[in-house]
Amino acid sequence: SLTDEAQLDQMLTMVKEFCNENIADRKKHYFVQLFVEETSVLIVERGFSDGKEHTMDMRIYIDDEETIIRTRDDCKALSMKEKQVILNESDDEDYLGMKLIRGFAKDVHYLPTMNLNNFIISA
């Protein structure tokens, strides 16, 4: 779990170490790191900047057939425009990382549930 912006670099380092130790497939390795970095930075930049306390957590499931990554945060919900830019094909320069992720992914979902934002991606 991430509770403040200062923890972001530490979390990204932990994910990199996890990938190095547990993911032999280079494409899957790159995808996991890209998704974690892009979504974490996006969540922290847009959601942690309001001066309130927030939490973000992430779960990564990997097997030979599938990779599923879920992020959950308690920041404000995405606006309709943000949902469209993140989930649909968009060339918006602020979201180029999400465009790369959509290229790797089988499915990308955003579910606002019980005041929580859930991003679920499978590849």
Burial 20-49 (b: 16+ CB within 10 A, else e): eeebeeeebbebbbebbbbbbebbbebbbe
Give the DSSP H or E segment for 60.
strand 56-62
Q: What is the pLDDT along the chain (123 residues), one digit of tens a residue?
A: 777 777 888 888 898 998 899 888 888 888 888 888 888 888 888 888 888 889 999 999 988 888 899 999 999 888 877 777 666 765 666 666 777 777 778 888 888 999 999 989 888
State the pTM of this model.
0.79
